[in-house]
Structure 1
C-alpha cells in the first residue's frame, strides 16, 4: 500500500491523470484507488461521491489556470477576454472530457476569485456596469465551455488527435439537404479556426450590446 499521505489534492491530480485513459464515464473512485494503491473506502474519507470528486478536479484545474494564464489582464478588454478564453480552452483540451468535468461543478476553494475580480475590474474600467461586466464574462465563458464540449465529443483525445466525425458520411446522409451537408465542413473540420471565429463574434456582440461608454 502507498505510504504517501493521501489528501484531496493528490486524489484530484491522480483522477485528472487517469481521466485521459478512461474518459469521464469510466472514471470511478475504485479505479482511482487502484492507481493510488489504496483501498477504495479510503477515498470516501475525502469525497462522499463522484460529484464531490469532480468538484475538486475542477478546482484543481482552476488552480492551474490561475497560475498559468489568469493573471491580471493587460491591454484592451477585448484582448483580455479573448486571451482568457483561449487559455481556458487550451487547459480544458489537456484532459479528455475536460470541459464536461469543468462544467456545472462547484469550486472547493477561492482560487477563482482573484482572477475573476481582476477581469471584472478591467471591464468596469472600460465602461461596463458591474452587472454588464458579469454578463460579458459569463457569456464568453459559456461559449468556450460549450464549444469545447462539442469539440471533445468529436475529437476526444487530449491535444487533438484523430477526429472521430466522418464528414463524408455525414454529407452523404444529408444529400437531400445541401446547406446542412456543407455546414459540416464549417462546424467540424477545423476546431481551432471555428473557435476563433465564434469567439470573435461573441466578443463583438458583447461590445455592441453590453458596454455603455462606447469603448
Structure 2
C-alpha cells in the first residue's frame, strides 16, 4: 500500500497509543484499524511510519524492554554486581507495568537494541577487574535470566508470598506447603536474590576476589 505523502501522526505517538490499547484491552484487541481509530486517523496513515503490524509490535517491544528501562549509574569497582541487580529490577518493573504486552517480547525481543549498551557494559566490567572471557557469560546470563523470569511472572496473575506456587494442597504436598509458609521473600525479592546469586556464583567459581576487584 502506498504511503501518504504527508504524515498525520508521529511514530512515537503510534507506539504510545499501541501500548495504551494493549494495556487496556489486551494484545488480542490490538489491530491497525483499532490503532488508527484511537489516533483519530485512517489506517493508511499508519503506513507512512510502519510497513505492517509486525513492525509496530517490534517498536512496542523496543519501548517497554529498552527505551523506558531506567539505567542505573555505572561505578566500576568491587560492587559491580549491584549494577546488574539494579538494572534487572528496573527491567522487571518496566515489563510488569505492561503485563498485557509481555507476550510480544517472546517474538520481538529487541536484543540488537542492547548491543551498544553491552559495549559500554563490557568496558564497565573490564574497569571493575572482571576478565573479558567472563563478559559474555555475564551479559547473556543476566539477559536470559531476567527475560525468562519476568515474562513468566508477567504472564500469570500477581502472587503473594503464599501463592507463588498456586493450588498447593497441604495434605498431599506438605513439604511444599511448609516451604511456602516459611518463605519470607516476595516475588520481587526472589527475583533479586536469583540475579544476585547468579553473579556471586560467577565471582566464586572464577576466584574473583570482591575485596580486590577494580
TM-score after normalising by structure 2: 0.74
Larger radius of gyration: 2
CA contact (8 A) 2:15 2:56 kept: yes
Q: Does 1:178 align with 2:174?
A: yes
1:4 Cα shift? 7.7
Any idea what SS the aligned residue of 2:97 has?
coil
- After superposition, the Cα gap between the structure-2 partners of 1:20 and 1:171, relative to the gap in structure 1 and judged at 3 Å, is same
Aligned partner of 1:74 in structure 2 is: 75
Any idea what SS the aligned residue of 2:108 has?
coil
Distance (Å, rounded) in 2 between the aligned partners of 1:121 and 1:6: 39
- After superposition, the Cα gap between the structure-2 partners of 1:129 and 1:29, relative to the gap in structure 1 and judged at 3 Å, is farther
Any idea what SS the aligned residue of 1:171 has?
coil
Unaligned 5+ residue runs, structure 2? 1-5
Give CA-to-partner distance per residue, 1:18-75, whole Å, 9 cap, x none.
221122333222221221112233324433343321211122332233xx3255x125
* Aligned Cα root-mean-square deviation (Å): 3.4
Aligned partner of 2:145 in structure 1 is: 143
CA contact (8 A) 1:33 1:40 kept: yes
Aligned partner of 2:3 in structure 1 is: none
- After superposition, the Cα gap between the structure-2 partners of 1:102 and 1:167, relative to the gap in structure 1 and judged at 3 Å, is closer
1:121 Cα shift? 1.1
- After superposition, the Cα gap between the structure-2 partners of 1:149 and 1:190, relative to the gap in structure 1 and judged at 3 Å, is same
Summarize the alignment of residues 39-58 of structure 1 with structure 2, pairs less than 5 Å apart: 39-58=42-61
CA contact (8 A) 1:23 1:97 kept: yes
TM-score after normalising by structure 1: 0.74
Unaligned 5+ residue runs, structure 1? 157-161
Give CA-to-partner distance per residue, 1:152-181, whole Å, 9 cap, x none.
22336xxxxx87x96797023x74233344
Distance (Å, rounded) in 1 between the aligned partners of 2:112 and 2:151: 24
1:200 Cα shift? 1.9
Q: Does 1:63 align with 2:64?
A: no
Q: Does 1:14 align with 2:17?
A: yes
